[in-house]
Homo-oligomer: A and B are copies of this chain.
């Protein structure tokens, strides 16, 4: 039984990742795409919204929501209320309070709900988690250093209030970190660097710990030129572990493994969704976005030089 799927929102991430990955997964049959702006999708009928999708294609039982987080809450509630299984691009919403009712609604409707964090499905993340599970961890250093001009050229929205700034990639770091550590980390202090002409930080340092008192130092910086660094380094009683390349490379116990698959993370997300749907299960972890909100609540703000593209 294939899962008759609809996709809502067909912007860059839908085209780069979701559509090719869905096409390659025999568990799913993409029936329709919804686009408010009427963007066509090759080989799939497009409709303006979920209401039309369900009228024209009542066989749809599940939807992936790839619209921007700002308007997502109403769409997700609507889909759940129609009894559809729902998978969400990250972040699950624009605020924590906004998404708080979604797991309860999904449970009441007896449907699957999946808040995705694609970085958790990078090939070296599960092996890193398994390797760390038995070790005593003495220190953790996270460096997520990338060039905003390369990855978000001219996209002013990332620096608007709610745009999250450097925490836009930072949620990937937080989703990987919370996945591999045996104890949930939390923030004790933070420093956020706001460009004088912007409403979101371009860099941040976080001091974190966990119930074992592990020192966890996080550096996020969007001003990195040259080599882009997405790395979690963990000191343990069995030597260091380094998860780098955003989860593609693992060095631990004297061995190094690398795996590159441009669609590997999203393929993992859809394999997971294919398990959740028939089981009607909820996978809705808010830990990564909670760490972001905590950083904003606890963080000392420093104003730095203006940033222009």
Binding site for B on A (CB under 8 A): 73, 77, 94-98, 100-101, 161-162, 164, 184-190, 194, 199, 211, 287, 290-294, 296-301, 303
Contact = CB atoms under 8 A, between A and B. Distances in A.
A100 B293 contact: no
- Going nearest first, the 3 A-B pairs with the smallest beta carbon separation are A97-B186, A293-B293, A161-B300
Given A100-B290, A211-B77, A296-B296, A187 B301 contact: no
A114 B188 CA distance: 23
A301 B97 contact: no
A291 B161 contact: no
A186 B102 CA distance: 13
Contacts of A100: 184, 186, 287, 290
A301 B199 contact: yes
A185 B97 contact: yes
A131 B287 CA distance: 36
Given A101-B184, A162-B189, A96 B199 contact: no
A99 B186 CA distance: 9
A199 B294 CA distance: 15
Given A161-B299, A296-B297, A296-B299, 5 more contacts: A96-B293, A96-B294, A194-B301, A293-B296, A303-B303
Contacts of A291: 97
Given A194-B301, A199-B300, A211-B101, A187 B95 contact: yes
Contacts of A290: 96-97, 100, 293
Contacts of A189: 161-162
29 contacts: A95-B186, A95-B187, A95-B294, A95-B297, A96-B96, A96-B293, A96-B297, A97-B184, A97-B186, A97-B287, A97-B290, A98-B186, A100-B287, A100-B290, A101-B211, A161-B189, A161-B298, A161-B299, A161-B300, A162-B297, A194-B301, A199-B300, A199-B301, A292-B297, A293-B294, A293-B296, A296-B296, A301-B301, A303-B303
